[in-house]
Amino acid sequence: LFFSVLLNPSVVGFSSTRQQSPQRGWHFRDWKRGRPCVRLDAVHRSGAMSRKKSFGGGSDKTNNNDDNNDNSNNVGVVGEKGIYSMPALYDLAFGYRDYEEEVAFLVERHKKHAGKEPNRILELAAGPSRHSLAALSNPDWTTVIHHATALDLSTEMMEYSNDLANEMLDTSSRRACFDYVIEDMRRFSVSNGDGDDKKMLFDTAWMLLGSMQHLNTNEDVVDCFRSVYETLQPGGTLVLELPHPRETFSMVECTRNDWKVPLDDSDGTEFGELRIVWGDDDDPFDPITQVRNFTVSFDVDTKEKDKEGELQSVRQVVPLRLFTTQEIKLFARCCGFSVVEMFGALSDEVSINDGEAAYRLVCVLQKDHNDGDDA
């Protein structure tokens, strides 16, 4: 049974005041084309990945796979049957974001510092790659953005994103401008596709939606930044989006961060809701490593529940690192970048010091214009 999922543009109950800012300016232009379709029986088959409040004890550990016990392996996708293996639900959960507006910000930041719009875009830990697809599908940027590459470790995300690209990029020539590669964002190289070993160079790279938090160690961050540096043109930019630093210094009081998305069928009749939790009360935070084990869950609550009347759910514990601005500046300098701007949202109207309006840490890093080794 398939339901076409249409997002309701009304405010959908963010519980944390820090998360109110994303609700400003709801737009769903992208969802008219390539909107996700939630297969409820598939969600049910994945099973509820429940755990006790005290993470890490006994048989209740979520990541009980040998390959996933080490945090360093949880880059890009966590586990085989976790939240990153449910791309339609993941896409729906973050559908409140205005991708076109955010891409306009990203393009403008690059233009300001590089002196021209980016022709080639690299989206790291891309998931559904909504930003890349928004960039390519906007007719205003057809002559500007020539190519976008999405990079992730999840084959499910890649298949989902390619389906979206087939729908959103409505000409064969534009569809050929998008590709998706399965790579580890810590150590990667993207081929230019001409059958030789020469790597593709990009004008700008984007690591959004807190994806950098999957880099739990300093070594992971340095490896990633160096890989990005090597794949950027001289003067290229790297844009990071992370939780605001105030989140790092309030981890001693971890609170629940949740929201809801109404689910409508193809006739516009509401048949349930998707409940998202991204961090729960008392999720443990290690102040030494700055890693918090986030409880993440997607619960599809419909009027047609299974025989036991239970929610159809997917749950996971995801170790995510919290970063400070000083760390970002130091990592950048170690890897050849300069931090040229910081904002409190994906908007040039929100300063990083703008009190409650600043709810994210957005950093613009730039490679030296004079570094022509990779040109």
Residue pair 251/322 in contact (Cβ under 8 Å)? The answer is yes
Residue 42 CA to residue 269 CA, distance in Å, equals 21
Top-confidence residue, 25 or 214: 214
Residue 324 CA to residue 248 CA, distance in Å, equals 7
Per-residue tokens: 56: 């890490």
Residue 62 CA to residue 322 CA, distance in Å, equals 21
What is the reported pLDDT for 311? 53
Averaged pLDDT, 212-233: 97
- Which range has highest mean pLDDT (1-5, 38-42, 187-191)? 187-191
Residue pair 103/134 in contact (Cβ under 8 Å)? The answer is yes
CA atoms within 13 A on the CB side of 145: 30
Task: Measure Cα distances from 105 to 70, 99, 100, 202, 340 in Å.
Answer: 36, 10, 9, 18, 15
List CB contacts of 112: < 8 A, sequence separation 6 or more: none
Question: Residue 333 phi/psi, 5° resolution?
Answer: -65, -40
- DSSP assignment of 108-158 equals HHHHHHHSS--SEEEEET-TT-HHHHHHHH-GGGTTT--EEEEEES-HHHH
pLDDT digits (tens, 9 = 90+) for 260-294: 988 877 777 888 889 998 888 888 989 899 999 99
What is the reported pLDDT for 42? 33
Task: Measure Cα distances from 343 to 203, 284, 336 in Å.
Answer: 21, 28, 21
3 forms beta bridges with 38
Residue pair 178/167 in contact (Cβ under 8 Å)? The answer is no
Decide: residue 208, CB within 10 A, 0-12 exposed, 13-18 middle, 19+ buried.
buried
E strand or H helix that includes residue 103: helix 99-114
Residue 342 CA to residue 114 CA, distance in Å, equals 16
Residue 204 CA to residue 192 CA, distance in Å, equals 16
Answering whether pTM is above 0.85, one says no
What is the reported pLDDT for 196? 63
Averaged pLDDT, 112-132: 97
pLDDT digits (tens, 9 = 90+) for 315-356: 899 999 999 999 999 999 999 999 999 999 999 999 999 988
